[in-house]
Structure 1
Amino acid sequence: MILIALFAVQILKTLVTSILFQKPSFMSDLDTQIPGAFDPFADASADDSGAGAKEYVHIRIQQRNGRKSLTTVQGLKKEFSYNKILKDLKKEFCCNGTVVQDPELGQVIQLQGDQRKNASTFLVQAGIVKKEHIKIHGF
């Protein structure tokens, strides 16, 4: 009788310790999703500045007033028709936009709302720009 009680206590101890010290399954998912260290100045110290530098397409977000924001696409090659690209972007993502002539940057496409990921996937799927030539900026 005492032997059975001791055996039952030992089984309970192992069950309690396994339950208390077992890592929950949702915690293991979180461990794999934690991103590595991010260096915001890595692009500035890169060696591709100067002659032979890659031409990137920069997609940025600009905060307006309140919750309003603008997405800008700059750096597309001059042989593309900006108005046709804008027309397709507007139709695809149900937003408004315009092409603005900037004295320093050339022609820049502006879209209403946060369309950074949408615009980058559209440009890659349309074959306008390769994925490695797109830089997405913003918060």
Structure 2
Amino acid sequence: MGVAMLAEVPLRYSIFMSEIDIQYPNTFDPFADATAEDSGAGTKDYIHVRVQQRNGRKSLTTVQGLNKEFSYNKILKDLKKEFCCNGTVVQDPELGQVIQLQGDQRKNVSTFLVQAGIVKKDQIKIHGF
């Protein structure tokens, strides 16, 4: 009786395996939505505040995605005066105009932009370590 049961087991599995439809993966890119959101300047009206490590303990804070109707130079002047740091406005071919500040000013910049009424708090994305 035990031998007959063992003979039936592979037969059941072979029938079961033949009934399965094999589906091959389509050309689906799971990161397509994420790269489309974060790629361009001003996409979905997000302001991206990033920190970049320079040499040693030096770092650089970048602000991208501000509305083009704002004067970047005036915002930069206020940021420099408020945080006692140096900065510049850089023209990037992909990202448009980007504000660069010396030091890690991510929290300072985000609170400044909200308090000045330039953006809302939920429109700011802070990146970095």
Question: Is TM (by shorter chain) over 0.5?
Answer: yes
Q: Aligned partner of 1:127: which letter? A: G
RMSD (Å), alpha carbons: 1.9
Counterparts of 2:64 and 2:75, CA distance in 1: 12
Q: Aligned partner of 1:98: which letter? A: T
Q: CA deviation at 1:95?
A: 0.2
Give the secondary structure class of the aligned counterpart of 2:45: coil
The ranges of structure 1 where at least 4 consecutive aligned residues each deviate by more than 2 angstroms after the TM superposition are 43-46
Which ranges of structure 1 fall in alignment gaps of 5 or more residues? 1-42
Alpha-carbon spacing, 1:45–1:104, altered in 2? closer, same or farther (3 Å): closer
Residue 74 of structure 2 corresponds to which residue in structure 1?
84
Q: 1:122 aligns with which of 105, 112, 127?
A: 112
Q: Aligned partner of 1:89: which letter? A: L
Q: Aligned partner of 1:65: which letter? A: N
User: Structure 1-normalised TM-score?
Assistant: 0.63
Counterparts of 1:44 and 1:91, CA distance in 2: 40
Residue 65 of structure 1 corresponds to which residue in structure 2?
55
1:13-57 Cα shifts (integer Å, max 9, x gaps): xxxxxxxxxxxxxxxxxxxxxxxxxxxxxx9867x95xxx62100
Aligned positions of 1:1-139 closer than 5 A: 49=37, 54-139=44-129
Give the secondary structure class of the aligned counterpart of 1:127: coil
Counterparts of 1:44 and 1:95, CA distance in 2: 37
Counterparts of 2:56 and 2:46, CA distance in 1: 30
* Identical amino acids, percent of aligned pairs: 86
Give the secondary structure class of the aligned counterpart of 1:85: helix
Counterparts of 1:71 and 1:44, CA distance in 2: 27
Residue 8 of structure 2 corresponds to which residue in structure 1?
none
Q: Aligned partner of 2:75: which letter? A: I
Give the secondary structure class of the aligned counterpart of 1:54: helix
Q: Aligned partner of 2:108: which letter? A: N
